[in-house]
Amino acid sequence: MNKGYTGRKLNEYIWIPKSKTYLREYREFLKICYDVQKRDGSFNDRTVGEEMVKRRAIVDRDNTIESYIKKYKVQTIGNQSYVSNARMMIRICRWLGWMTIGNAKAIFILTPYGINLTAFEGAFPSRLASLYEHHLMKKAFSKMKFYSVNDSPQYRNLRFKQRIFVNMLRILSYFSHCSHYELVVSAFVLKDERNIDEYKHAINRVKRLKDHKITIGKALAELGLDCNNKSTVTGVYDGPKVMLSFARQLGLVENIPVSKEITPSIYKEYSLMYNDSGYIRPHGIKFVSSITNEGREFLKKYSNKTSIWFDELVNKLDEAALLIYLNKSNNSLDLSKLDVNFKEAIENLSKKGFVKTFGDTVKLSIETDFDLFHDVPFELRDHVIGILKKIDKEFMSNYNLIVERIKLNEVFVDKNRFKMGECISCAYPSCKIYSQTNQYGASDRFADRVCPVDIIQTSDKGEIIIDEDKCIKCMLCVNRCPFSALSINKDKLKLTKSNHYLTIEYAQKVKETENLISEKGMIKNIEIKDISHIINLFESKISIPGRELKKDQFYVLVRNYFREFGFEATYSGSGGMKTRSDVTLLKPYLITIEVKSPAEGPVNLKAVRQAFHAAVQLGTQITLAVGDTIHKGAIEEAEKFRKVVPQIKICLLEIKYLLFLFLIKNALRINTSDINNFFENNPGHFNREKVEIFIKDKSSKLKLRDDIMKEIIKELYNI
C-alpha cells in the first residue's frame, strides 16, 4: 500500500474538489462568469475571482476590494483565496456541463446549459416561463461523469466509465442508510457502471461493513487507501460530502442523525464499523444519508438511460454527430437527403444496438442522454459541430431552444372556494422563501431561506410539503403565511390544506397569488397566551443532545428574526467570507452580531471579544452576542469592555428573548427603531427585567390596555 496516497491522484478513486455546495450560489456564480465572458470573450479562475471580489461576492476582513486583491497578489496561486474559490466552482460546473474550455488552455466559456441558468432570478429554485430550475439542475447532475470531457485531457481518467451522482444514489437505494465512507468504498471506486459483477462487488463490500465482517479501515485498505493517513481520510471524505449536499438540496436524500440517545441502533452500527480505523473514529460521525422517494423517482427516470462513452466510439466524429442529432431532435434521420456518408458510422452504432435503420432512415433504438456538451471532448467539439451543420444548418442556432423544457402547470387553490386559514400553494411561498433576495452567497449565505432547518419544500406540482416532525417551533413560517394556514397544534406544526385545488399555468398562478394576497392576505397575531408554551417548546427542540441546532441553521434563524423586524440582515460569517460579524444588520442601522449555536456551546469570553472586534471592523457602536445560553464569564467580560471602551455597546442576548420579541412584534408594533434603541440603552446582559421595562414603555406609547400588557409580561416570566 502506498501510504502517501490521498485519493486525489485520479487513479483509483473519484476525487471531487471541496467546493461550495449551495446551489443558489452556483446560479449567481454562473451570472458572474457570463458577465466576464461578455466583457472579455471568455473567463478564467483569476478574472472571475477578481470580479467576485469587486462585487463583494467574496470578502476578507480588511474589508476593501483593493486591499484584498493586493494582499494576495504576492501569494502563490494556491494561496490566493479568491482564485482557488473560483477554480473549485469552475471545476464542478465543467463536470455538470455548464461551462467548458474555450479556445486556449485554462480559458472557459459557458455552454447553452450554463447560459440558461443565468436567466433565473430571486428565490431558489425559481421558475421561468416553461423552465423549472430544479428540473434543469437534476438533469445536469444525472449526466455528471467523472470522465469529464470539459476537463483538460491530462485530468481525464478513461478507466472510469460511470455517472458518479447517479451511482451514489443507486448505492443508497440498496440500503436504509449509508455513511460517507461507505459511499467512498462503493460508488466512488466504481470504474464501469455497465459491469454487473463490479457493481455487485461494490454492494457486497457495503454489506460486509454492515454485517461487521470488516471495518471501514479494512475496506479502505482493500482499495489501497490508508485510514492512518490523515490526508487520505479527509481527501476521500470530500467527494460524498459535496455530492450529498447537492442531493439534499434537490430533495433526493435526507439526513438521519447518529446519536446514542436518538438512534441507538445506528450509533452501535457505526461504533463497530468505525472501530480501529485510524483517523475515522465513531464519535466523528454526526449523521448518515438515506434516499428519499423523490430520489427513487430520479433513479427511475435517469439510471436506465444508456451511457455512451466518446472514447469507445470507432468513427468518433460521425458517430457522435449522429447520436447527438437523433437524441436532441428526437426524430429519425432521412439519409437520402444528406450529402454526408454515414454508412460506416451507422454500421458501428448498429452493432452496439444504439441505432436501427429502416430503408434510408435511421433512428435511436435506446434511451440515451448523449450530448454535445457532456460527451464530446472540447478539443473535438468544433469538428462534430461542423458535421451537425451539414445534417441541419439550423441545428446549432436552435441548440439553446432544444434544451429540454417542461410545460409548467401547478396546483393552486380554487379562488371561488377559498377559505382563510387554508394553504393556497403560493407561487412564491412566503413561508419558505424570501423572494426579494438576490445576493451571492458570500454576501449572505442561504439568502432566500426562511426555515432555518429547511423543512419546507415545494413539489414539482407546486404543493407545499413540510416535514413537520423536524420543526423547531421558531414560528417564522407561521408568522409569514398571509392566510394563517400554519399553526402549532398539539405541540406540532400543522399545515391546513384546501380540499379544492385547480391546475393552472405557472405564469397565471403568479398573478393569481399576488391578487389573492392583495385582496385577502393578512398576518395573524400570535395568541399571547401561547407565547411561553411555544418558546419552551422551541428551547427543548434546539438543544436535544446529538441534534442541537448547528451553525448554519442557528445563524439563519438569528438573521431571519431581525429581518422580520424590518432590518436588512445578512448571514455574513460563513466559512470563506472572512468577516468578523456572523450576522450583520446593514439597514436602517448598522449592528454586528456574534452568534453561538447550541452545537457550539454558550456565549463565552471569546464570543464577547469577537463581538467587540466585529464592531471595530465595521465601525459601529452596537454589537451583539447571541446564543442559547450566556456564560457567567461572558457577562463579566462585557462589563470590562464597557468600562474601557464605553462608546461600543456590547449586548448579550439569549435566543429565547429574541424569539419573545418576535412573537409580540405585531401586538406591540415593534420596529427597527425600537430594537436599535433597546440595544443602545441596555448594554450588557439582557434579562427579563430589561425586557419587561421595554414592554411597559412600548405599551405606554401605544396606550395598550393594561390587561394585555400584564398578560404579555406574565408570558415573559413563564419562559
Tens digits of residue pLDDT in 356-377: 999 889 999 999 999 999 999 9
| pLDDT for the residue 405 | 45
| pLDDT for the residue 5 | 42
Under 8 Å between Cβ of 435 and 427: no
Mean pLDDT of 471-490: 93
Comparing C-alpha atoms, which of 220, 187, 185, 226 is closest to residue 5?
A: 226
Under 8 Å between Cβ of 258 and 288: yes
Under 8 Å between Cβ of 719 and 686: no
Q: Residue ranges of the alpha helices (H) in 303-407?
A: 316-329, 343-351, 372-375, 378-391, 399-402
Q: What is the largest CA-CA distance in the chain?
A: 93
Mean pLDDT of 134-158: 89
Confidence of residue 4 (pLDDT cuts 50, 70, 90): very low
C-alpha cell at 418: 377559498
C-alpha cell at 228: 492512518
What is d(CA 368, CA 304) in angstroms, rounded to the nearest whole number? Answer: 9
Comparing C-alpha atoms, which of 10, 33, 242 is closest to residue 141?
A: 242
Under 8 Å between Cβ of 55 and 440: yes
Using the predicted structure, report yes or no on whether residue 7 has a pLDDT greater than 70: no
User: Residue type for 30, please?
Assistant: L
What is d(CA 566, CA 694) in angstroms, rounded to the nearest whole number? Answer: 18
Confidence of residue 3 (pLDDT cuts 50, 70, 90): very low
Residue whose entry in the numeric block shows the C-alpha cell 463536470:
95
C-alpha cell at 272: 463497530
Confidence of residue 188 (pLDDT cuts 50, 70, 90): very high
Under 8 Å between Cβ of 455 and 466: yes
Compute CA distances 498 → 369, 415, 421, 428, whole Å: 39, 11, 9, 17
Comparing C-alpha atoms, which of 633, 635, 608 is closest to residue 623?
A: 608
Mean pLDDT of 10-14: 75
Using the predicted structure, report yes or no on whether residue 516 has a pLDDT greater than 50: yes
Comparing C-alpha atoms, which of 509, 511, 501, 493 is closest to residue 423?
A: 501
Confidence of residue 634 (pLDDT cuts 50, 70, 90): very high
What is d(CA 214, CA 205) in angstroms, rounded to the nearest whole number? Answer: 9
Give the pLDDT confidence of 276-293 residue by residue, as tens digits: 898 998 888 889 999 999
Under 8 Å between Cβ of 548 and 599: yes
pTM attached to this predicted model:
0.78
What is d(CA 121, CA 137) in angstroms, rounded to the nearest whole number? Answer: 15
Give the pLDDT confidence of 16-43 residue by residue, as tens digits: 888 888 898 899 899 999 999 999 999 9
454 φ/ψ sector (left φ>0, alpha ψ -120 to 50, else beta): left
User: Residue type for 463, please?
Assistant: E
Please confirm whether the linkage preceding 282 is cis (ω < 30° from 0). no
| pLDDT for the residue 413 | 93
C-alpha cell at 474: 421558531
What is d(CA 658, CA 573) in angstroms, rounded to the nearest whole number? Answer: 20
What is d(CA 370, CA 374) in angstroms, rounded to the nearest whole number? Answer: 7
| pLDDT for the residue 306 | 93
Mean pLDDT of 449-459: 90
Cα angle vertex 2, ends 154, 204, to 5°? 90
Confidence of residue 2 (pLDDT cuts 50, 70, 90): very low
| pLDDT for the residue 129 | 67
Comparing C-alpha atoms, which of 616, 600, 672, 687 is closest to residue 649?
A: 616
Give the pLDDT confidence of 335-348 residue by residue, as tens digits: 888 888 899 999 99
- Say which DSSP state 193 is in: T
Radius of gyration of the chain (CA): 28
What is d(CA 510, CA 516) in angstroms, rounded to the nearest whole number? Answer: 10
Within 562-605, strands assigned E span 568-571, 583-587, 591-596
Give the pLDDT confidence of 117-137 residue by residue, as tens digits: 988 876 678 877 667 888 899
C-alpha cell at 684: 450588557
Using the predicted structure, report yes or no on whether residue 8 has a pLDDT greater than 70: no
Q: Residue ranges of the alpha helices (H) in 364-453?
A: 372-375, 378-391, 399-402
Q: Are strands 99-101 and 108-110 parallel, antiparallel or unpaired?
A: antiparallel
Instruction: Lowest mean pLDDT of 97-101, 318-322, 424-428, name the range.
Output: 424-428
Three-state DSSP class for residue 230: helix
Helix, strand, coil percentages, rounded to 5, for the chain: 45, 15, 40
C-alpha cell at 649: 455597546
Contacts of 627 (CB under 8 A, 6+ apart): 595, 596, 597, 598, 600, 601, 602, 603, 607, 654, 655
Mean pLDDT of 499-524: 87
